[in-house]
Every structure is written in C-alpha cells, then in structure tokens.
Structure 1
Amino acid sequence: MKIDRLVSIILILLDKKRIGAQELADIFEVSPRTIYRDIDTINMAGIPVCSIPGVGGGFEIMQNYKIDKNVFTTTDLSAILMGLSSISNMIRGDELVNALAKVKSFIPADRARDIELKANQIYIDLSPWTGNRNIQVYLETIKTALQERKLLSFEYVDRFGKITTRKAEPYQLVLKGSHWYWHGYCHKRNDFRLFKLLRMSNLQITKDSFTPRDYKKPQIEFDDILDYMQTTIKIRFHTSVMERVFDFCTHENVLKDDDEHYIVNFPFIENEYYYNILLSFGEKCECLEPLRIRTEMKRRIHEIAAIYESRKN
C-alpha cells in the first residue's frame, strides 16, 4: 500500500543521512518516478525533504528537522517502547504501529540489544484472563468514536441490574485498577457519566456527530473519600483464600491464628459491594467484629439459605 511505503520512506530518511532515488526504488520494487512522486507527497505533508543533485546526491530530510538519536538515553527509549507495547496489547491501530516503528528508528545499532533487554524487563498485559471478550472490540469502537467525534449508542446495566438504552458523547477512555471505563456525556441523564465496559452491550457508533462541550474530568481518585468512609473490621480467613485477601489489604494487617487460619484487620465500607466481597469467600471467611456487621452477615447468609430451602428439588 502507498501509505505503508510513505511511512517506510520517512523512517529510512530519518535513519540515513542521504539516499538516492534508485536505491529507494530498488528497496520498494517500484520505479524512480514513483519514488519522486512519493517524495512530493511527503513534502506536501509537511516533512521537508531536500533533493541533492550530482554524484553522491539523493534525498535527505533537513537536518534541523531531524531529532538527534543521542537525545534519547537507553532508559528513555526502553520506557517508551515498554509503554507503547503495553497499550498495543489492548488498543490496536496504525498510529501505534507507526509510533513503535518511529521510536525503534531512533535506536542506534550498538545500543539495540541493551534497549531490548531493558524494555522486556517489565511486561504489562492489559488483556483479561477470562470474561467478556468484547472488551477489546469495544475499546477500538470507542477510540474510533473519540477520533471522529461520533455519538455512541449502547445498552447499559446499572448497579441494581436495570437495563437502559443510552446515547452518549465519548470524551475519554479510562483504565482504573483492572477495569476499563469511558467517560462521556449521557443524553439520557443530561450529565457526564463514567461507563464501565463490562456493563455494556450492543455498543455502536452512530452517524450523529457532536460538538465537544466544556469537559470535566471524572473523579477516579477516592483516597479522601475512603479516609472517612472506610473502617476496619476483624475477619478470620482460611489459608486457602489468603491470596485473594491480599488483593484488599497488606501483610501488616494479618496475624496467624492457627495452622489453617489468619486473623485479618480488613478495610471495609458498609455497602452492598463490600458485603458481597465477604460473601464471596463463602465458608472460608468469618466476621468476628464489630457485632453489627457480624449480625448483618448472618442475616444475609440466612436469606441465601432460605432461597435453597424453599425448593425441595
């Protein structure tokens, strides 16, 4: 494709001091006339390519336009490659591929091995182990809508299980913890909302464009709120679930009880989300104190048991 050839020519020109039309034609298996047309296109795109006539002549990018490779240290290039590679696991696109190619073009041959080793020292994979396989497709859809300023339509399940049909203006993709969200202006609620991708279905880009409105960032930092909402409760956990327990607290909050149990000072907020966390541990978890939370756990367990006892089969 022509666009691929143009990008490749630019990368070659960034890498080399000067290269002739015939050499480029041989590399891409096209005629020198095609190369000249490509160079004109690159110039029209705003990248200043000079043509030097005579023996030893050829094409080169103006020196003031080039970035000195030595500007980037080994650590700089490793960090950039690591970040771009991690994002490309979930969000794919020509711009990321081209960005990776451009960054790699800055790597001097004598430092390539060292930079590759450093870039591979940390690997970030944002794709889920299991679950909703639409996430990656939805990310691409939202990214396209962001670029084209198109409304998104979708069905959304709120925290009470109610399904509604929505239309919203996308403004930002957000990765918080291990979950993807997008922030947009919801036409149904007439306000900005943070939508969780796992709660969405039938996501589509509409034909309707929108004019961006004054944007306010979503509140995704809750440290101040947690300081006054969160309390600590005492829980007895079986050793078999301790790996999960450490998703919520640190080792400093854990004391050995006996060979098979630990006593944990567990961070807790009295709402559905946190009660469901405790219930998800099943019989491997016992709330010891405070009494009101222990009593509430007993009530919820009895309600669950009553559902099963109401059916004989």
Structure 2
Amino acid sequence: MKVDRLVSIIMILLEKKRVGAQELADMFEISLRTIYRDIDAISMAGIPVRSISGVGGGFEIMPEYKVDKKVFSADDLSALLMGLTSISTMIRGDELVHALTKVKSFIPADRAKDIELKANQIYIDLRPWMGNSNTQPYLGIVKTALQENKLLSFEYADRWGNKTTRTVEPYQLVLKSNHWYFQGYCYTRNDYRLFRLSRISDLQMKQDTFIPRDYQKPILDFTEILETLQTEIKIRIHKSVLDRVLEFCTYDHFMPDGDEHYIVNFPFIENEYYYDMLLSFGNKCECLEPRDIRTEMKRRIHDIAAIYDQ
C-alpha cells in the first residue's frame, strides 16, 4: 500500500463532493479491491469516509470534516508554501510532504499562477554553501527522536576541542544565526543544554524512550546582556570586507575614508571571539583605537607570525 496514493486519494476526496470507486480505480490504474482496501485504511486513520450506494453513489468525506478553501487568502497560501518548502530543504519527512500536498490542494485553479508567483518572491534555502556534511542527516535523527521521545547519544566537542560522551533527552530543534542546535536534558550535566550540531559526532538514536519532563526553553535573545558588555572601538577596513562587517553593525556606523576604505565604529567585547573576528579580516582591517585593544591585536599578530618563523 503506497502512502503517496493514499494521500492523493484524500486530496481528491477533499476536492470533490463524491467520487465513484471505479473512477478512482481507473485514475490510479489499480483494482477495485485495492481501492476498497485503501478507503478502509483512510477510515482507520481517522478521516471519516462514507460510501453512498446506488446511481451517482461513491465515496465522500463527511461535509463537516472539510475545510472551506475560501478561508485561506492568496497571501495565506503563499506564506504556507514558502515556509514548508524552506523547511523541507533541510528536514525531510513524510509529514512535510503531506502538509505541502494538503496546502496545494486548497489552491483554486484560477489562482494557482498568482499564488505560485507570490510564494516564489521569497526563497529561503537553509542548506550551507559548504561545510559539515553531517548536519542534514543529524537533523533527521534529532527530529525523529523528538517525535518518538527517544534518547540521543553522541560525542560532543566544546569550543576548545575537548570531547565528552553525552546522553540527552531532546526537546527542541533551534536554528540560530545560520547554525542548527538542539536543546535537551543532558544526563552528564544533569541540566538542560543547547548543543550545536556541527560539534556533534557519532550521533545515535537509542531504543530507550523517556518520559518528557517540564521543558526549560533555551535563552536565545542576548540583546540586553550584550548591550551592557559591548563597547565601541574604531577600525579601518578595506571595502572588500564591508559585507562581513555589516553582519555585526549597521551602515550608519561607517564613514568613508578615501575611495577604498571605511572608518567603522565597531561594537566589541573584549574576549576571544571578538579578537578572533578582527583577526579573521586579515590585512583588510586595522584597529585604530582604543590603544589597549590595538596593543593586544599587535601581540596576537606577533604570536601568529612567530609560529611561521619557527
């Protein structure tokens, strides 16, 4: 029994008032016996299909179960299509395919072109240009574990490369700043933790299930905390790294300095992450002030050069 055929039959029954058994059999090029078996499977799944005998009879979904197509505007359908298509590029699953099929079934033929045009005006592709090839299959494993309340085990590397073995109850997938994470209760730490998928290796879904506990959502908005920690430093950048610098501050922080450079009032926190960020711009960036940050940059650059002098 093919799932895609069952979904298609449901869509047809939602679309039409009543469909004869022979018409369905001819449509899918299968026997009447198979059609009756498919209808039984659909009914067992909780969709109320009834059979009407006699002339003009056939199968129909009970009217109170159907949704009026007019409840969705063109903008509603476009937004649903855009969101489902974007997620399905990274996270695969029958439920997403079925959801897309259902949404498309609500599109009237005379509005299909307009709705498709609106849906294509914004395209979100969550797949990276390059990088960790484990991300997409790991997303599938985590999603299945979430649905089935299965424990996950894996090796986890912290920011310094130290590895630990973890067993975790998964509770939520998170996409934050182009990186995928999942939030779960870690048995090693006896607390909730946010795990970055790119730092995970040997991810396994265990057969053991768990009883979900009161879920503690991760803190993802650090705007207020960052504002208290950040100070502005002055950097001079080449125009070739302008787009990268714009990821951290707005264009009103920029002031042209000749034809090739900009002076930027750059938000900065004195820690490893921000120093590494400035160093990543290479010779396209110079820290002008304050003096202590400039001096520390010189020391770090000297240490890097010393490695190559050995």
Bin for the TM-score computed over the shorter chain: over 0.9
Match of 1:296 in 2: 296
- Measured in 2, the distance between the counterparts of 1:151 and 1:64 equals 40
* Structure 1 residues 90-124: Cα deviation after superposition (integer angstroms, max 9, x where no partner): 00111100110011011111111111100000000
Q: Describe the SS at the equivalent of 1:249.
A: coil
Q: Describe the SS at the equivalent of 2:165.
A: strand
**Which segment is superposed worse, 296-305 or 101-110?**
296-305
* Structure 1 residues 147-171: Cα deviation after superposition (integer angstroms, max 9, x where no partner): 1211111111111221111111111
**Post-superposition offset of 1:40:** 2.2
Q: Describe the SS at the equivalent of 1:17.
A: coil
- Please tell me whether residue 51 in structure 1 is matched to residue 51 in structure 2: yes
Q: Describe the SS at the equivalent of 1:67.
A: coil
- Please tell me whether residue 251 in structure 1 is matched to residue 255 in structure 2: no
**Alpha-carbon RMSD:** 1.1
- Please tell me whether residue 88 in structure 1 is matched to residue 61 in structure 2: no
Q: TM-score, normalised by structure 1?
A: 0.96
- Measured in 2, the distance between the counterparts of 1:191 and 1:2 equals 43
Q: TM-score, normalised by structure 2?
A: 0.97
The letter of the residue matching 1:74 is A
**Post-superposition offset of 1:89:** 0.3
Q: Describe the SS at the equivalent of 2:54.
A: coil
Match of 1:114 in 2: 114
How do 1:29-48 and structure 2 match up within 5 A?
29-48=29-48
- Measured in 2, the distance between the counterparts of 1:43 and 1:238 equals 66
- Please tell me whether residue 305 in structure 1 is matched to residue 309 in structure 2: no
* Structure 1 residues 289-308: Cα deviation after superposition (integer angstroms, max 9, x where no partner): 11121111111111112222
Match of 2:278 in 1: 278
- Please tell me whether residue 146 in structure 1 is matched to residue 118 in structure 2: no
Q: Describe the SS at the equivalent of 2:7.
A: helix
- Measured in 1, the distance between the counterparts of 2:126 and 2:111 equals 28
Q: Percent identity?
A: 72
Match of 2:181 in 1: 181
**Post-superposition offset of 1:44:** 2.2
- Measured in 2, the distance between the counterparts of 1:108 and 1:152 equals 44
Q: Describe the SS at the equivalent of 1:220.
A: coil
Q: Describe the SS at the equivalent of 1:247.
A: coil
**Post-superposition offset of 1:41:** 2.3
Q: Describe the SS at the equivalent of 2:33.
A: helix
- Please tell me whether residue 64 in structure 1 is matched to residue 64 in structure 2: yes
The letter of the residue matching 2:238 is H
- Measured in 2, the distance between the counterparts of 1:151 and 1:48 equals 35
**Which segment is superposed worse, 118-127 or 224-233?**
224-233
The letter of the residue matching 1:60 is E
- Please tell me whether residue 21 in structure 1 is matched to residue 21 in structure 2: yes
Structure 2 unpaired stretches of 5+:
none
- Measured in 2, the distance between the counterparts of 1:301 and 1:4 equals 59
- Measured in 1, the distance between the counterparts of 2:283 and 2:101 equals 53
Match of 2:125 in 1: 125
**Which segment is superposed worse, 31-40 or 56-65?**
31-40
* Structure 1 residues 174-208: Cα deviation after superposition (integer angstroms, max 9, x where no partner): 00011100001111111110001111111111222
**Post-superposition offset of 1:280:** 0.5
Match of 1:137 in 2: 137
Match of 1:163 in 2: 163
Match of 1:269 in 2: 269
* Structure 1 residues 214-267: Cα deviation after superposition (integer angstroms, max 9, x where no partner): 110000111111110111110011122112111111110000112221100111
- Measured in 2, the distance between the counterparts of 1:92 and 1:126 equals 13
Match of 1:3 in 2: 3
**Post-superposition offset of 1:36:** 2.0
The letter of the residue matching 2:145 is A
Structure 1 unpaired stretches of 5+:
none
